[in-house]
A = this chain, B = another copy of it.
């Protein structure tokens, strides 16, 4: 007969910390997982955790929702399995670390969490985690397992990306008017959940998201967002989670269309794919990260001729580019779209790629005064 098990409670909660409803939900998830392990143990059964599989075979493109999602396949992680015992322990450690952070009302970088949790397993010579590379996938496991975004576990990665435009946000109680941010802009934080960031006043009609900070500076300097009543963001290349989540929230909560100005190369296509459909690797987060209605405003393979660019802006495709372009063309969400198939074929036929900054060869403000305004007026986008 099973002994009465002790209830796991959130007993370290500091008096000064006020938990948000989301924090309460995440804590409840962590405690429920711990409770279930204790109960299994009390019943003298083998402790085990069922983790939704994050492998490619368990990721599918949901054609109705129009984003990538994780399937129902689960893998079991067992304490009494030699090859799984360590990752079992690591999973509980990450959950414990997240619990501590939530209870303290603090957040940590994933590097910080690694240092919080790393230690000797005495009397062996083993460490709880050998390196960061061992910790990161366990964090991802915990996200799926606990149905909580990394940010809800109070964890963040290095941030990048800035925002300006006709919107006022409240960030941890501070009111930030993004139309009065000079040349620098508002640095988009890593964690942009509603408990941290609220939208207050918004006169913007859409969002222009550009790939790089240097292009963002051109648009900001020309006060594009003022003239066209929009919000201007960039994500320093592949946008970090904070930027993607903020775009998702602005799109869904304020009903703002998102237009992406990216390079005409496989990397630009892929950035668009991640913004729109979610990332293959982290498909479980699509629900709150992907923006299926996002549009690709350019650069397009047709632009070399259409914009009468000179030969000097061409950058030849290399083998990696060609291979990557073909892979991307085969993604289900691109494969179904004739326009995208034409776009990618056209680039391969061109034999060269084009950076957004190539438009500067026409004139310094061609992209802000002609290229984007014309496409917006015509409604000429790739879906």
Contact = CB atoms under 8 A, between A and B. Distances in A.
Given A119-B310, A312-B119, A187 B174 contact: no
B355 A111 contact: yes
Contact of A108 (B312, B313, B364): B364
Interface stretch (A40-48, A214-222, A275-283): A214-222
Contacts of A181: 171, 174, 176, 186
Interface stretch (A16-24, A141-149, A156-164, A335-343): A156-164
Contact of A190 (B174, B175, B217): B217
Contacts of A127: 312
Interface stretch (A29-37, A56-64, A99-107, A252-260): A99-107
Contacts of A180: 174-176
Interface of chain A, main secondary structure: mixed
B162 A221 contact: no
Contacts of A188: 184
A112 B364 contact: yes
Interface in A77-132: 100-101, 104, 106-109, 111-112, 115-116, 118-120, 127-128
Contacts of A212: 158
Contact of A360 (B115, B185, B222, B313): B115
Contacts of A374: none
Contacts of A221: 106-107
A357 interface: yes
Interface string A255-267: 0000000000000
A84 to B, nearest CB: 22
Given A176-B180, A357-B111, A156 B217 contact: yes
10 smallest A-B Cβ distances: which pairs? A171-B182, A109-B214, A187-B187, A184-B189, A174-B182, A118-B312, A183-B189, A174-B180, A112-B360, A115-B360
24 contacts: A106-B222, A106-B365, A108-B364, A109-B217, A111-B357, A112-B357, A112-B360, A115-B312, A115-B313, A115-B357, A115-B358, A115-B360, A118-B313, A119-B312, A120-B311, A120-B312, A156-B214, A159-B213, A160-B160, A171-B183, A172-B183, A174-B181, A181-B186, A190-B217
